[in-house]
Structures are given as structure tokens and as C-alpha cells.
Amino acid sequence: MTVLVLGDQLNADVGPLADRPGERVLLIEAADLARRRPYHPHKLTLVFSAMRHFRDRLRESGRTVEYRQVERFADGIEAHLDADPGDELVVMRPPNHGTGDRLRELVERHGGQIEFVTNDLFLCSPDRFDDWAGEQPRYRHEDFYRFMRRETGYLMDDSEPVGGEWNYDEQNRETPPDDYSPPDPPVFEPDAITREVQSRVAETFVGSYEEPPYGGEWADPGPFRWPVTSDQAETALERFVTDRLAEFGPYQDALAAGEWALNHALLSPALNLGLLRPEAVIERVIEAYHERDVPLNSVEGFVRQVLGWREFMRQIYRREMPELADANQLEQSESLPPLFWTGETDMACLADVIDGVRTRGYAHHIERLMILSNFATLLGVEPQELNRWFHAAYIDASHWVTTPNVVGMGTFGTDVLSTKPYVSSANYVDKMSDYCGDCPYYKTKTTGERACPFNALYWDFLDRNAEHLSDNHRMGLVYNHLENKGEDEREAIRARAERLRERAQRSEL
């Protein structure tokens, strides 16, 4: 028997690695996986470096590790089974749809056997989620989050939430003062392994993706500073708890020019590779609450993201695939504009966020939802195009991560996740950020050459989708505002929106 470890399961304390300490281990580093999309170089560096460091850690602990660097993942399976005919592989069930079926077919084709076991890098099992969800056609995150609080006992006082409230969202929508200077995020200097991987990525993969647009040369990567080992990831967790957790809550939804990290944890890459376990992260944050009297709104806000939203996304994806990936209930059909790859736009918010993605392969959750997804949705971009971009651009992205967040939440391609689209005009950007003050577009204008594109696109989106959305009980007020606009004004908005769509495709926004 051999324990197969996939690239997002890099944890020796769970699953078959923990249960079968005497078994040898197989890891496969496959080049073709890196060529499926024009991935950000930091994403490829992170995954391959983390895999190689994990290999070395296992060997140092006395494990026998077979590490195969191959062109195709199938080549690694074939080579292993040629060397050990009929071997049985055991692996934690992968979260991405169809991966398990493809693995089984591949192993059995080459004469082996494979056993899938529970993926212990998540806190909610599929069976437990199915018991909770039943046959409901739509899922409420708030209900699931409370369910998970009760299941785990996190931030609970017997049967009641600590502090008497389930969430503190109202306290977590502040913007930092003008002179606010957030703590610096941790920096992890690349070692010899990471530098070797960086060289391979630059020489082998950057530019190798031939389909338009932009191949693999769209990014403008800065220094690579992400954690690639469990020790580094634990250091990153400790730095968050010590330096940034206290003010994480109030500013978690804030947007600030030039401040890509603010007080965010920056732990999603490590969590999604398995370098950190979700329970370890949550428990360390709760420990800080008790040790240092960290504000409860910050602690609860963070626990909500990991215990609630991350687990929720994984299970919704599992239950709703494959239909979720193709969902497009608003029938949006615009192509993703080139500015998502180049960052070339005069819109201050969009330019800053995309520049951060091109540099680091990262932007925080509000930048993803209310700048990038909001703009693409208002523009009418097909959800699947935006999903492909997110998957390629972000270092913490996997199909199970981006698909529910982008197709479900970000573009309202389906209503299984939310009851209304998360779209807004410039009002939201102005309220939650400092972008509008230095932007050449006017936040208060809807039409006219220098009117903020968010405004006309917002009202045009509502107009175009009135048949689908106007009866939505959560959108009655905004549709009343739309109805109060005269036909001449609405026609001017439609014309402005059409020009903006054309200009976006010509990179002239």
C-alpha cells in the first residue's frame, strides 16, 4: 500500500499519513497541471515549492517518499504502478469535482487499486452537511454558521453564543482613518528550493499557455514572500494573531489604496494547501481572545470566515456540481475585458486592485467581490470567463474555491447561494474606500464622459435584468429608484453603459 498525497493535502497529521505511519508516500509534480491556465507565477511557485518542502520534511521524519516529476500526472501514476504492479493507493478524497473519478479510472487502467478516505482538512463532513441541508433548494450561510458553532463549540457558552450575539457585522464595516498604518505582513525569504522552483516556473511555464488572452505573461510578479512550509505557515498565523487580529474585525471590509493586506490574515494559501488545519487556526484565534482580551467582533468575524464561509463553499460546491460551474441565470455573455489582465484603466479602484493581483496573485475578499466581481457582473461578463480568470490569477484558488464564490456569489449566476446579486454603484466604493478622492472619474455622476462607470453600469444592469430581479423582495427599493427615473434619463444611461462596454473591450476605460 502507498499513501498518495495530492498537492493540496500537505499535512502529515491527518488522513492516511497519520493513520498509516509505516506506509511509503507518493507525490507527483506534474508539469501539465501548470499549463492548463495562464497561472500567476506565484501560484505555481507556491504549490511546487510547498510540495518539495513537504517531501523533504517527510523524509527527515523517516518516511519513504517517492517524488515523481513528470510531464503528465498520468505518467507519474503509470511509472509508480509499473514499478509496483497491483499496488493499492490510499488518498484523502479531493475536493475538486471529478478529480476522484479521474484518479480511480487512471489507477485502475494501470492495474492498481485506490481507496478514498475522508478529507480531514475540512471541519464539516459531507454526511454531516447533508444531514443539515436536507433537500432545501437554497442554502443560508447564517444558518450553517450557527450550526457549525454548535457542532464544534467554538465561541459558545453552553447553547448560547459567547457575548450573546451570533455575529458582529455592524461593528465590522468601518474604514480606517487617513493616517492609519497597518502592521506589515510577514515576509518569508525564498530558500534554495523555492528559488529553484522560481527558475523552473520562469523558464518552463511562463508564456507556455498559448490560448488567448495573454498567455502566461500577463502578471508582473513582485518578490515571492508566501509561506511554503507548515512552520512558516504557523509563524504567519502567530503574526496575524499578535499584530493584526485586534483590528481585523472593524476593517475587514475596508478598501484602501496601496494597502493590499490591511489587517487580513493572509492564511488562505496555507489553509488551501493543507499547511494549516482550520481547527488549529480557529483555536489559536479563540485562545488569543481569552489570553489578551482581543475584541470579540474581530475574533467572531474571523471565525465566521473560516468555520462558516470556507466550509460552506466547499459543501455547496460538492452538492451543486456540475451544474454550478455552468450556471448563468442572468444570461450574461460579454467577454472579460483585457483590463483584467493588464490593469490598464483610469478607474482608481479597479487599477489598484488588479495591480495587486498582477503583482502578488492576491486581493482580499471585498476587493474580489465588490470591485472585481461587481464590475464584471455590471458589465455583463459571462460568469465562466470570470471564474477562469480568478482560478488563474489567485494563489489561493482552486476550482472548489472560485466556482461557488465567483459563479454563485460574485456574478449571481445561480441563486442557490444568495437571494440577490452583490452589485453596487460608486456609492459603496466611496463609502468603504479612499479611492474616489483621487480618481479622474466623478463618483456622483451617472452620465457624461467622466462619470464613474460603476454608476451607469449599475442602473443599466438593473434595467436589463428587471424581469428577473424586480420582484425580488430585497431589491424593491432600488427598483423604485429606477422607476422614478424618466425615460430620457434611462435612455442616456443605456447609451452610456453600451459605450462603456465597448470601451472596456478596447482598453479605453
Digit-coded pLDDT (tens) for 212-269: 555 558 889 999 999 999 999 999 999 999 999 999 999 999 999 989 999 999 999 9
Domain shared by 80 and 108, yes or no: yes
Domain shared by 452 and 427, yes or no: yes
Whether pLDDT at 209 is above 80? no
> At 122, is the secondary structure helix, strand, or coil?
coil
Residue given cell 509563524 in the structure block: 235
Please report, for the domain that includes residue 481, its CATH number.
Answer: 1.10.579.10
Q: Which residues of 467-488 are buried (b: 16+ CB within 10 A; e: fewer)?
A: eebbeeeebeebbeebeeeeee
Domain shared by 43 and 142, yes or no: no
Last residue within a domain, chosen from 92, 117, 142: 117
Q: Are 66 and 51 in contact, with CB atoms under 8 Å apart?
A: no
Q: Which long-range contacts (CB under 8 A, 24 or more apart) does 50-54 make?
A: 50/7, 50/10, 50/228, 50/229, 50/273, 50/275, 51/7, 51/10, 51/27, 52/193, 52/197, 53/193, 53/228, 53/229, 54/5, 54/10, 54/12, 54/27, 54/229
Domain shared by 347 and 369, yes or no: yes
Q: Which residues contact 29 (CB under 8 A, 6 or more apart)?
A: 7, 48, 51, 52, 67, 68, 69, 70, 76
Residue 215 lies in a domain: no
Tell me, rounded to whole angstroms, the distance of Cα 391 from its chain centroid.
8
| Pairwise CA distance, residues 11 & 25, whole Å | 12
Residue given cell 474555491 in the structure block: 401
Please report, for the domain that includes residue 146, its CATH number.
Answer: 1.25.40.80
For residue 138, what pLDDT is reported? 74
Domain shared by 377 and 252, yes or no: no
For residue 162, what pLDDT is reported? 95
Domain shared by 427 and 496, yes or no: yes
Whether pLDDT at 210 is above 70? no
Q: What is the band of 206 on the pLDDT scale with cuts at 50, 70, 90? A: confident
Bridge partner list, 115: 90
Domain shared by 491 and 406, yes or no: yes
Q: Which residues contact 353 (CB under 8 A, 6 or more apart)?
A: 363, 367, 371, 372
Query: How many domains are contained in the chain?
Result: 3
Last residue within a domain, chosen from 117, 135, 152: 117
Domain shared by 384 and 460, yes or no: yes
Residue 441 lies in a domain: yes
Digit-coded pLDDT (tens) for 271-286: 999 999 999 999 999 9
For residue 205, what pLDDT is reported? 79
Bridge partner list, 24: 2
Residue 330 lies in a domain: no
Domain shared by 421 and 472, yes or no: yes
Parent domain of 47: 2-117
Residue 58 lies in a domain: yes
Residue 224 lies in a domain: no
Digit-coded pLDDT (tens) for 13-38: 999 999 999 999 999 999 998 888 89
Domain shared by 58 and 151, yes or no: no
Q: Which residues of 89-126 are buried (b: 16+ CB within 10 A; e: fewer)?
A: bbbbbbbbbebbeebbebbeebebebebeebbbbbbee
Residue 152 lies in a domain: yes
For residue 377, what pLDDT is reported? 98
Residue 249 lies in a domain: yes
Q: Which residues contact 131 (CB under 8 A, 6 or more apart)?
A: none
Domain shared by 345 and 398, yes or no: yes
Domain shared by 108 and 130, yes or no: no
Whether pLDDT at 47 is above 90? yes
Least confident of 53-57, 125-129, 134-138, 334-338: 134-138
What average pLDDT is seen over the chain?
94
Rounded (5°) CA angle 107-111-112:
50
For residue 4, what pLDDT is reported? 98
| Pairwise CA distance, residues 312 & 318, whole Å | 10
Q: Which residues contact 462 (CB under 8 A, 6 or more apart)?
A: 469, 475, 478, 479, 482
Q: What is the band of 137 on the pLDDT scale with cuts at 50, 70, 90? A: low
For residue 178, what pLDDT is reported? 87
Tell me, rounded to whole angstroms, the distance of Cα 425 from its chain centroid.
23
